[in-house]
Amino acid sequence: MPHRYFTTDIGDGQARLWGQDAHHLAHVMRARLGDEVILCDGNATEYTGQITGFEKDCVLFSASPGYPSGAEPSIQVTLFVGYPKQGKLETIVQKAVELGAVSVVPFFSRYCVATPKKEEEKNARYNRVAAEAAGQCGRGILPKVEMPLNLKELPGRLAEFDAAFFCYECGGQPLRQELGQAKKIALITGSEGGFAPEEAQLLQEAGARVIGLGPRILRCETAPTAALAALMTLTGNLE
């Protein structure tokens, strides 16, 4: 399978790849003139790129006409995830991107063990993880990891979505009963400590539908993956 790279420098049958990706292709993969790769513009359009030249900081291509990416799911899921400790967020971001999330929004809540520290630096790293996962799994867009919020800010965001599903450790309705025909979905999971009762009430008052993930309590890094996999299965996006 051809290697896959994201670039916005593409048009009129030509394309350029810059920076670390260009270095990786030219010097790590030792690409040659005429080699083909898949180029993606980050907006779910892909191109077959044939290498036509190498410059100091970029690789040059001739590019085929664009065609729609076949990897994007039919639903748009934003994962709102309680901020975990000890680097677990990188794993959550990676798996969320692989399963089709369009964005990940960490948030701090009452029972979060982690506390805000160097968040801009961390956010840059999380977005690199997202970009690497998107390239590896064949995504047609570059999912974004947003800067963390406070849980109290979540109700103001939920109006953006057709439906919001709140995975509550105290249980709720099965996802299959609540899903309906929603296409733009907010999925909310918690941190190690779960949710305080007043936080659960706040989310429900904002319109989030409470769902359960079975009779077992899932770890904070397991719940997002399980819930995303269930969403994609129920909507036919793992077929």
- How is the chain split into domains, by residue range? 4-68, 76-234
Pick the CATH number of 76-234 from 3.10.20.30, 3.40.1280.10, 3.30.70.3040, 3.40.50.2300: 3.40.1280.10
Give per-residue pLDDT as tens, 174-187.
999 999 899 999 99
CATH number of 4-68: 2.40.240.20
Handedness of CA 30, 33, 37, 40 (dihedral sign): positive
For residue 129, the surrounding DSSP H or E stretch is helix 119-137
Provide the pLDDT for residue 45.
Answer: 94
**Is the separation of the CB atoms in 168 and 195 below 8 Å?**
yes
pLDDT band at 120 (very low <50, low <70, confident <90, very high): very high
What secondary structure letter does DSSP report for 20? H
What is the reported pLDDT for 36? 95
Read off φ and ψ for residue 124, nearest 5 degrees: -60, -40
Q: Rounded to whole angstroms, what are the CA distances from 10 to 1, 14, 56, 116, 220? A: 21, 6, 18, 38, 40
Q: Span 7-24, mean pLDDT?
A: 92
pTM of the shown model: 0.90
> Tell me, what's the pLDDT at 56?
87
Checking if the pLDDT of 119 tops 80, the result is yes
Do the first three CATH levels of 4-68 and 76-234 match, i.e. the same topology? no
- Per-residue pLDDT of 36-85, as tens digits, reads 999 999 899 999 999 999 998 899 999 999 999 989 999 999 999 999 98
Tens digits of residue pLDDT in 130-184: 999 999 999 999 999 999 999 999 999 999 999 999 999 988 899 999 998 999 9
Distance CA 153, CA 215 (A): 29
Tell me the CA distances in angstroms from 135 to 24, 176, 187, one per residue in order: 13, 30, 23
Q: How many CB atoms within 10 Å of residue 45?
A: 16
The percent of residues above 70 in pLDDT, for the chain, comes to: 100
